[in-house]
A = this chain, B = another copy of it.
Amino acid sequence: MESRFLAERLRKLKEELKNLKLEAYLCLHPANIQYFTGSPQAGELALGLLVTLDNPPTLFIPEMGAYQAQLQAKIKLETEVFKVGDEALKKLRNTLKGFKVLGFDDASQARISKLKVKGLSLKPHPEIPEKLRVVKDESELEALRKAARILRKGFDAVFQVLKPGVREREVAAAAEYALRVGGSDFYAFPTLVASGSRSAHPHGSPTARRIREGDVVVVDLGAKFSGYCVDATRTFMVGRVKPAVSKAYRAVLEAYRAAVGGVKPGMRGFEADMLARKTIQTWGFGEFFTHGLGHGVGLEVHEAPRLSPGSRDLLRAGSTFTLEPGIYLPGRFGVRVENTVLLTENGIKVLTGWSGKEFISFN
């Protein structure tokens, strides 16, 4: 990533700090540390990143090995390198003693209690990095597009392997193999493969169950590139399409298309959700759409904005999120269609489109 993107993120962060009259900000959350350093390794390994108004940020990290030089070439960082994690913590605590009030993002209560020093007030301001991260810059979109290209290979592999007799976990293994070889940094989340009546469960982790003729199979895959996640689901039908499945799938597809066509900048999360929900209600499946329409994706697979019944989140151009209507009929089957999309000034642009066909075709 070019350093101008990092410089711009830091500039905006400092602007927010000035507005809130904070002298400094401490990032403890891995995704925020990556966001301001541009380094997935820093996000993974660092204890914290301290950003002050005047000086270059300081990264507190036990050990960066091969990545240190790379990181320092990209951004002016006074990287603190220690061989043992406890020393980095001690050094961070000592540095914090120089401050009276410090904004910070979020961490576990146990972690925060280790950072309490006399005379320092730690003020939670998780909304500051969230506000910046919710609108993606061009370097982030590039990573997301790359992740989307990798994701397609995962679905190609599913399409190749899916047939009666194969186990759900073999489908997951084939998809993950293709993602890894295709260049995914690990996975954005654990692959879901749910077949037969298990597909009625929205979070169906793959089991040893063998897929049978007549099964609905819901496959939810995530790829990750340079720390950026994409998330998509396809519903497959093994064999002849049953009328009940066909009907539910048409309802979900229509709801998905209503969202793709209707979501615009300036809408609230609940309004976007309602576009899809109304369609599904019209089809008579309202009570079986048991989750929200979508969630933001980026450095985290679940981040702002939320597109769900209660969400007041404002949808802005430059945000990336999922659109994933689903219908789950307990004991029978479930269907879901999901893509990661980018909201532009002109509306939705789909990032994770896939040229392959589900076994069911509605065209």
User: Which residues of A are at the interface with B, using a C-beta cutoff of 8 A?
Assistant: 41, 44-45, 63, 65-67, 83-84, 86, 106-110, 112-113, 124, 126, 167, 169-170, 172-174, 176-177, 180-181, 183, 185-186, 190-191, 197-198, 200-206, 208, 287, 290-292, 308-310, 328, 330
A110 and B84 contact, Cβ closer than 8 Å, known pairs A65-B328, A169-B180, A190-B186 = no
Determine the distance from Cα of A173 to Cα of B177 in the docked complex, in whole angstroms: 5
Determine the distance from Cα of A181 to Cα of B180 in the docked complex, in whole angstroms: 15
A124 and B109 contact, Cβ closer than 8 Å, known pairs A173-B181, A181-B173, A183-B169 = yes
CB-defined contacts of A203 to chain B, threshold 8 Å = 41, 44-45, 65
Instruction: Decide: B106 and A107 in contact? CB cutoff 8 A.
Output: no
Instruction: Decide: B110 and A66 in contact? CB cutoff 8 A.
Output: no
Nearest to A45 among chain B residues (CB) is B203
Determine the distance from Cα of A186 to Cα of B174 in the docked complex, in whole angstroms: 13
Determine the distance from Cα of A328 to Cα of B6 in the docked complex, in whole angstroms: 31
Distance from A223 Cβ to chain B, minimum over Cβ atoms (Å)? 13
- Shortest Cβ-Cβ A-B pairs, 10 listed: A173-B180, A65-B201, A186-B190, A66-B201, A177-B177, A173-B177, A83-B290, A173-B181, A106-B110, A106-B108
Residue of A83, A108, A191, A198 with highest tally of chain B CB at under 10 A = A108
Distance from A272 Cβ to chain B, minimum over Cβ atoms (Å)? 16
A-B residue pairs in contact (CB < 8 Å), sample of 14: A63-B202, A66-B201, A83-B290, A84-B290, A84-B308, A84-B310, A86-B310, A107-B109, A167-B181, A169-B181, A172-B180, A176-B176, A180-B206, A183-B208
Distance from A324 Cβ to chain B, minimum over Cβ atoms (Å)? 15
CB-defined contacts of A45 to chain B, threshold 8 Å = 203
Distance from A203 Cβ to chain B, minimum over Cβ atoms (Å)? 7
CB-defined contacts of A309 to chain B, threshold 8 Å = 84
A170 and B176 contact, Cβ closer than 8 Å, known pairs A200-B65, A290-B83 = no
CB-defined contacts of A310 to chain B, threshold 8 Å = 84, 86
Instruction: Decide: B106 and A198 in contact? CB cutoff 8 A.
Output: no
Determine the distance from Cα of A251 to Cα of B44 in the docked complex, in whole angstroms: 29
